[in-house]
Amino acid sequence: MQNPCKLILSFFVSVIITISCCFHASAQTHKIDSLTQALKKNTGDTMQVLNLGKLSYEYENLGSYPIADSLALKALKLGTQVNYQHGIALAYNQIGSIAEDMGNYQKALENFSKALSIRKQQKDKSGTASSLKRIGNVYNEESEYTLALGYFIEASKTYEEIQDKHGIAMVHDNIGSVYTNQGNYAKALEEHLNALKVLDDLKDTSNMIYAYQHIGNVYSDRREYTKALDQYNNALVLSEKKQDTTNIADAESNIGLVYSITGDYSKALEKNFAALEIRTKHGDKNGIATSLINIGGIYYAQQDFPKSLDYINKSLDIFQEIGNKDGVANCLDGIGQIYLMEKNYPKAIEYENKSLDLAKNIGSLQGIASSYETMSSTMELMGNSGKALEYYKAHISYQDSIYNKENTKKMVQAEMNYDFEKKQAAEKAEQDKKDALQAEEVKKQKVVIYSVLGILLLVIGFAVFAYRSNLQKQKANRELDIKNKKIEAAYTIIETKNHEITDSINYAQRIQQAILPNKKDIQESIPESFVLFKPKDIVSGDFYFFAKQNKTKFIAAVDCTGHGVPGAFMSMIGWEKISDAVEQTKHTGDILKLVNKGIRTSLHQSNDEDSTRDGMDIALCAIEQTATGTGLTYAGANRPLWIIKNGTRQIDEIKATKRAIGGFSEEEQNFENHILELVKGDSFYIFSDGYADQFGGEKKKKLTTKKFRELIAEICHLPMAEQEKKLDNFIENWKAGNEQIDDILVIGVRV
């Protein structure tokens, strides 16, 4: 027996949904009433077929699918009786559209295919292209990307034959969605931007909403979340203006996903539950499943794994019901990750294998990369390092194919082409307007001249016109000469400014070097030590810190947000805050806590969206002599400590607290303090991520932390000065002409 409270709650929810649907339907009441009245009149069989189809369409928009389907079937029956082929095709199309909305993709394909057959027989190219596009959409929703592309390309060719710009734009947008699902983001962005340009020219704001949503999806998948939010907000503004609740739900859901990724979980849940409510009212199964998996992902990020598993399983059931393979693969991947976090490793591998097989089947690069990454982590925790490495290599391979530089370059080029063409079109429109006004003025003048002075004055008029043209040409030449001189002057100014800027940065380098500890002072205090410091640019975002307070020596490797001038500013602030902190306490965890507060205060950081998120990672050590040896205290923010015991080459890693200094960290963030006892001959190393992240070698790949670790283990027995040379020579040979991608800092100390 059901809980009475639940029954009451269910009743009120039903009432609220009914009232909401009534308000939503009010804007369409007039259309429905008009069509209902038209059906009562004897307007002829063919017109009746068309009116039944239109009325079905209006009920479909209201989400009243049974009524809409019944009307479409009546249209089909009447059209068949009178052999009205155009009406029959429209009816099949409408039945397929309703089936697609309800997630019955097989029924949708059957009816769209019947409509396509009739339209081809009737040589109706516009209708043929529309049916091809609809079939492509269904295959895309079923994750059959090769089939979807085939139908979209055929639709595009047909639209080009009849020069239907709107149809071409919509097909380009659909093709972009397929490429997004496959992880080919450069092609996806190019297709969506081409569609958006045409739709903007046509002032088709309804379909511009979809283009903005799809462009936002590309940037979101590429982890360019600021750009993604801009596009989703563009879609939301247009949707709200048009009171389009379906697209409002899509935009809210997408914005919520970005908030989830950036750590604002309360806003993320608010947006996704709002989207779920709208999609539930409309019976949008694909949208409901998408909202459920998004909500599950947010609870996963909050480490509420039971709730996460519950929502993702609900999403999985719906995606399996409607045949959305990409959605099923994502759900399986999510469940596998939950089992990994719950340390149920066999279950994690089971679900990730299912997700991987499905992702490979549909060609989803993002899905393949994600499954391999989770499987690698699982195998590593199970102690199977061989399989872990194999899966990690596969993950990196697919990840590189998605985020490689060539794809990024193509995306930037597509953005620039879109901006340039949009600007060029605006300038042309303005010039056309001026030309039209000028032509109209000349026409009026000629009419007056013809009326008053006749042929003689007409000749004079032409002479005057020619004279004016010559003057304008001379004026244009003078203006062009002035512009050229201005350009030359501007170039000279730019050269001067560049020289001044370079001089300023060089001077800033002197200031930064003056603040950094003198390496000789470090050598005198810690003879067996080295500091390998290689800035990417003139000034650096990485810096090393050394100080002595009574009998305690502090040494740190710090990696600030960014490099170059922005990084240097952060390093100056960071150095000051660390210096202040070590004067207050020798407890390394408390020092990092004080530095975190200082950075947030200096940069006025808060939880507001427009607050800066700059910060730093740090490994801080305090060295102090004890009665039995040397005491080492360590605390880290995202940067670990490596220790090698005397006479061994085994690296023991002390993990850092997984939070940065500043940025997204809370003001009262604590950092774990580690107290260790070292004996003579023991060594330790602290470093930024620049060394391991450098690209190079024969395959132009990242060095990786694993190889860096092997290199340290190989040279750890050498004197510290020689270790520094070995590390410096190795990284220079590894780069072999490649650009240094980040600042490099490695510190080694032997007790």
Crossing angle (nearest 10°) for helices 125-141 and 105-121? 160
Q: In this structure, are residues 183 and 402 in contact, taking their beta carbons and an 8 Å threshold?
A: yes
**Lookup: tokens for 117:** 């057959």
Asked if residue 75 belongs to a domain, the reply is no
CATH code for position 616: 3.60.40.10
My answer on whether 506 and 583 are in the same domain is: no
Which helix or strand (DSSP H or E) is residue 622 part of? strand 615-625
Q: In this structure, are residues 362 and 328 in contact, taking their beta carbons and an 8 Å threshold?
A: no
C-alpha closest to that of 744 among 693, 700, 674? 693
Pairing of strands 641-644, 529-534: unpaired
**Lookup: tokens for 206:** 């309804």
**pLDDT value, residue 605:** 81
My answer on whether 547 and 478 are in the same domain is: no
Backbone torsion region of residue 622, taken as left when φ is above 0, otherwise alpha when ψ lies between -120 and 50, otherwise beta: beta
Going from the C-alpha of 498 to that of each of 168, 394, 493, 596, the distances in angstroms are 46, 44, 9, 35
Helical H segments across 516-563, by residue range: 519-525
Tokens 């710090």, located at residue: 558
User: How many C-beta atoms lie closer than 10 Å to residue 497's C-beta?
Assistant: 10
- Of the three residues 515, 531, 566, the one that is the final residue of a domain is 515
For residues 151 and 135, give the distance between their C-alpha atoms in angstroms, rounded to a whole number: 7
My answer on whether 504 and 469 are in the same domain is: yes
SS (H, E, C) 424-442: HHHHHHHHHHHHHHHHHHH
**Lookup: tokens for 537:** 């640019």
My answer on whether 561 and 543 are in the same domain is: yes
My answer on whether 485 and 614 are in the same domain is: no
Beta-bridge partners for 746: 532, 687
Tokens 């849940």, located at residue: 269
SS3 502: helix
pTM exceeds 0.75, yes or no: no
**pLDDT value, residue 152:** 92
For residues 97 and 105, give the distance between their C-alpha atoms in angstroms, rounded to a whole number: 9
C-alpha closest to that of 370 among 392, 344, 339? 392
Which helix or strand (DSSP H or E) is residue 107 part of? helix 105-121
Asked if residue 205 belongs to a domain, the reply is no
Which DSSP category does 628 fall into? S
User: How many C-beta atoms lie closer than 10 Å to residue 122's C-beta?
Assistant: 13
Splitting the chain (751 residues) into consecutive groups of 10 residues, what average pLDDT does each group show? 30 28 46 81 81 86 80 92 91 90 85 93 91 91 87 93 91 90 86 89 88 88 84 88 83 82 85 87 85 90 91 92 85 93 91 90 83 90 88 82 51 48 54 67 66 67 68 76 73 68 66 82 93 90 92 94 77 91 93 93 77 86 89 96 94 94 87 94 95 90 94 95 96 89 94 91
**Lookup: tokens for 20:** 């909401």
User: How many C-beta atoms lie closer than 10 Å to residue 539's C-beta?
Assistant: 26
C-alpha closest to that of 286 among 314, 253, 312, 319? 319
Asked if residue 594 belongs to a domain, the reply is yes
**pLDDT value, residue 427:** 54
Per-residue burial over 597-619, b = 16 or more CB atoms within 10 Å of its CB, e = otherwise: bbbbeebebeeeeeeeebbbbbb
663-669-674 Cα angle (round to 5): 115
For residues 570 and 128, give the distance between their C-alpha atoms in angstroms, rounded to a whole number: 60
My answer on whether 638 and 654 are in the same domain is: yes
**Lookup: tokens for 279:** 């999609």
Q: How far is CA 120 from the centre of its chain?
A: 40
Tokens 């390998």, located at residue: 532
My answer on whether 581 and 719 are in the same domain is: yes
My answer on whether 682 and 545 are in the same domain is: yes
Asked if residue 9 belongs to a domain, the reply is no
**Lookup: tokens for 243:** 């009171």
My answer on whether 714 and 734 are in the same domain is: yes
C-alpha closest to that of 704 among 401, 337, 395, 341? 395
Range of the domain at 667: 521-750
C-alpha closest to that of 75 among 32, 46, 34? 46
User: How many C-beta atoms lie closer than 10 Å to residue 525's C-beta?
Assistant: 15
For residues 349 and 352, give the distance between their C-alpha atoms in angstroms, rounded to a whole number: 5
Q: How many domains does the chain have?
A: 2
C-alpha closest to that of 293 among 234, 367, 233, 228? 367
Asked if residue 702 belongs to a domain, the reply is yes
Asked if residue 611 belongs to a domain, the reply is yes
For residues 274 and 253, give the distance between their C-alpha atoms in angstroms, rounded to a whole number: 8
My answer on whether 501 and 630 are in the same domain is: no
SS3 615: strand
Q: In this structure, are residues 279 and 249 in contact, taking their beta carbons and an 8 Å threshold?
A: yes
My answer on whether 583 and 667 are in the same domain is: yes
**Lookup: tokens for 143:** 């994750």
For residues 119 and 127, give the distance between their C-alpha atoms in angstroms, rounded to a whole number: 6
**pLDDT value, residue 19:** 28
Pairing of strands 630-637, 674-678: antiparallel
User: How many C-beta atoms lie closer than 10 Å to residue 431's C-beta?
Assistant: 10
Q: In this structure, are residues 330 and 374 in contact, taking their beta carbons and an 8 Å threshold?
A: no
- Of the three residues 515, 538, 563, the one that is the final residue of a domain is 515
Long-range contacts of 267-270 (CB under 8 A, 24+ apart): 268/294, 268/298, 269/295, 269/298
**pLDDT value, residue 408:** 45
My answer on whether 526 and 511 are in the same domain is: no
Asked if residue 163 belongs to a domain, the reply is no
- Of the three residues 499, 515, 531, the one that is the final residue of a domain is 515
User: How many C-beta atoms lie closer than 10 Å to residue 186's C-beta?
Assistant: 21
Which DSSP category does 646 fall into? T
Residue count of the chain: 751
SS3 118: helix
**Lookup: tokens for 68:** 């809409």
Asked if residue 651 belongs to a domain, the reply is yes
User: How many C-beta atoms lie closer than 10 Å to residue 567's C-beta?
Assistant: 26
